Structure formats: C-alpha cells, structure tokens
Amino acid sequence: MTASVDKSSSYALQQTLKSKISCSGTGLHSGVNVSMTLLPAPPNTGIIFRRTDTDGNGLEVAALVENVVDDRMCTTLGDGEGATIATVEHLMAALCGCGIDNLYVEVEGSELPIMDGSAAPFVFLIECAGIVEQDALRRVIEILKPVRVEDEDRQVELLPGDGFSVDFEIEFESDAIGRQDMSVDLVNGTFKGELSRARTFGFIEEVDQLRAMGLALGGSLDNAVVVSGNEVLNEDGLRYENEFVRHKILDCVGDLYLAGAPIIGHFKGHRSGHALNHSIVRSLLADQGSWRYTTVLRDRDDVIEELDELPTMVTA
C-alpha cells in the first residue's frame, strides 16, 4: 500500500507549481538576455537551480546557504567548480512569500532576469502557473534561542517568535533615503501586498566602479531605483515612500530562505546586506541548540512537534 498525506489534515503541506512557466529578461549584473523556466518538483526536493546553457557545464545546485559563492551586490550560487547562477534573491523571496517548497529553476544563462527590479513579476509567474499541495508535510525551522552576528555598525539577529516577522532599519547619507525602518509579519499575503513590488536601488555615483567590477552592466531606470545625491532619478518616483527599506526586507526574505526551509521566528536587522544575511543563516545552522525542525498547522504558525527527520506521511 502506498502511503500518502491526508489532504484534510490541519497540518501544513508542502507545495509546488501546478505547471511549468517561463520568462526572459536582462541580467542586472551581466547585462545579457537570459531566460528562466520554473518547473514542478517532487516532495522533499527543495529549490534546485539548473544551468541549461552550454557555458553552465550542467550546473545543478540546491538553494542552500552552503552553496553561496559570492555575495557582492547579489546572492550567487555555485558548486565550487566555476559555474554559477547569480541574483537569485528576488525569486527566492517570491518562492518563500508564496509558500513554494519544491521547484526546479532552469536558467539559460549565468544570472536570473532582473525583470523590473522587484519580486512582483515572479509572484505573477507563480500565480499564473498555479500552486498545488503535495503528499508531504511541510517542515519549518523554529528558532529556539537568539543568534546574533555583528560587523562593525551592522547587526542582525534571529529570535524566537510566533510566525515569521522582520524588523529592519537602514540608514544612508542621501536625503532621498535617510533613515528608514519597518516591521512586518509575513502572513496572509503580506509579502505580495507589502514587499513584492519594492525595487532594488543604487547610486549613480557608484555606477562606474560597479561596472569596472563587472557588476550592474544591465542596470537601468527600468529595473532599479537610481539615486543621485539627494534625488531619485526615476521619472515616476517611488512605489512606496519607504521603498528602500521594503526592498532590503525583500532581499532578506530571499536570503533567509537559503536555510532550506521557512523560518518560525523574528529577524532584526540594522544596515544588513546579503553578506550579513548569509552569515546569520550559517551561524544559526551551525548552532544546533538554537533551532529545530517542526511542523505547523495549515494557515497558522502554531508549532506542533519536533521532527527528527522530514515526515512523508500522516496516514496510510
């Protein structure tokens, strides 16, 4: 007899897409046109990135913090043998915000398309493809005790908490940004409504330096908020008054999903970026007394029980 999950169970189940879906666009840092296809994956697969172009050398890499090979201006995954996939954080944030546990991401190029600089186009793709529950319980990472990482005047912390929530503060000398802070609970569509449309941003005075480093070659006013001194150069202005901190939270959600499962706990960040986000995930996973795998109730954040391993069934 084949065991399966009772879909009427109150436990949260893993999810993937109903059908495959594709898009294409410019790579923010590479500046070249790339295409991407999202495909359903079996239970317990996680998020797997694949390079399908000839230069990718057949790269297949799991979206886990241990596979981050570069965090300059974006999150880049690789296998340590040369081939990489860059700028995965916006898609990872959308997958986390939409509750996608298992997915194959095929990329014909070295970088995901930047689209409009936010995660909203990826949320749209996910919704167009549809979401389906699977015959396996979802596991989450429950924070049991505080974990903190500091780097000079930058700090991040993960704390026990109900559900997944984020407090984030940024501070820039430019009056166009200044000091911004935001607190958000990631429940009931909050990611789509409050964070997904917030775009990446940069400073015009840094463009030459970034391009000399091989970065931001595809950046434009169509896919980023560009700041010059104390002004925003985008003709239509900002999507939110505090769009800058909202995008930093979006990036954070994507980076934290590299833990390999959704987090039940509270994140606090002060002037954090990709490197520090990755560092707190590594520190968390390295301290086995600070977290555990658990299950949660469907549409709730109540922690049910500790898991020794990922469950695959509740009824036969």
Same domain for 274 and 150?
yes
Same domain for 180 and 279?
yes
Same domain for 121 and 169?
no
Asked if the structure places residue 92 within a domain, the reply is: yes
**pTM of the model as a whole:** 0.92
Q: Give the domain range for residue 42.
A: 13-137
From the CB of residue 167, how many other CB atoms can be counted at a distance below 10 Å? 16
User: Residue 73: CB partners within 8 Å, gap ≥ 6?
Assistant: 29, 210, 215, 216, 274
Long-range contacts of range 283-290, CB-CB < 8 Å, 24 or more positions apart?
Answer: 283/147, 283/149, 284/141, 284/143, 284/147, 284/158, 284/259, 285/65, 285/259, 287/147, 289/144, 289/145, 290/143, 290/144, 290/145, 290/146, 290/147, 290/158
pLDDT digits (tens, 9 = 90+) for 172-228: 999 999 999 999 999 988 999 999 999 999 998 887 776 776 666 778 899 999 999
pLDDT at 315: 30
Same domain for 151 and 287?
yes
Using alpha carbons, list the distances in angstroms from residue 218 to 32, 69, 134, 170, 221. Answer: 7, 21, 38, 25, 10
Asked if the structure places residue 103 within a domain, the reply is: yes
User: Residue 284: CB partners within 8 Å, gap ≥ 6?
Assistant: 141, 143, 147, 158, 259, 290, 291
Looking at 137, 158, 177, which one is the last position of a domain? 137
Catalytically annotated residues: 274
Asked if the structure places residue 5 within a domain, the reply is: no
Rounding to the nearest 10 degrees, give the CA dihedral for residues 281, 136, 51, 201: -50
Asked if the structure places residue 6 within a domain, the reply is: no
Q: What is the CATH number of the domain that holds 79?
A: 3.30.230.20
3-state secondary structure of 35: strand
Overall domain count for the chain: 2
**Chain Cα centroid distance, residue 121:** 14
Radius of gyration over every alpha carbon of the chain, rounded to an integer in angstroms:
19
Same domain for 44 and 127?
yes
Mode of pairing for the β-strands spanning 201-203 and 225-228: parallel
Looking at 106, 137, 168, which one is the last position of a domain? 137
Same domain for 41 and 23?
yes
Asked if the structure places residue 130 within a domain, the reply is: yes
Same domain for 90 and 199?
no
From the CB of residue 32, how many other CB atoms can be counted at a distance below 10 Å? 12
Same domain for 56 and 173?
no
Phi and psi angles of residue 107, each rounded to the nearest 5 degrees, phi first? -125, 125
d(CA 172, CA 209): 19
Asked if the structure places residue 7 within a domain, the reply is: no
Asked if the structure places residue 316 within a domain, the reply is: no
User: Residue 289: CB partners within 8 Å, gap ≥ 6?
Assistant: 144, 145
Looking at 112, 137, 162, which one is the last position of a domain? 137
Asked if the structure places residue 270 within a domain, the reply is: yes
- All residue ranges of the chain with pLDDT < 70 are 1-9, 210, 213-216, 299-316
pLDDT at 28: 86
pLDDT digits (tens, 9 = 90+) for 18-49: 999 999 999 887 889 999 999 999 999 999 99
Same domain for 282 and 171?
yes
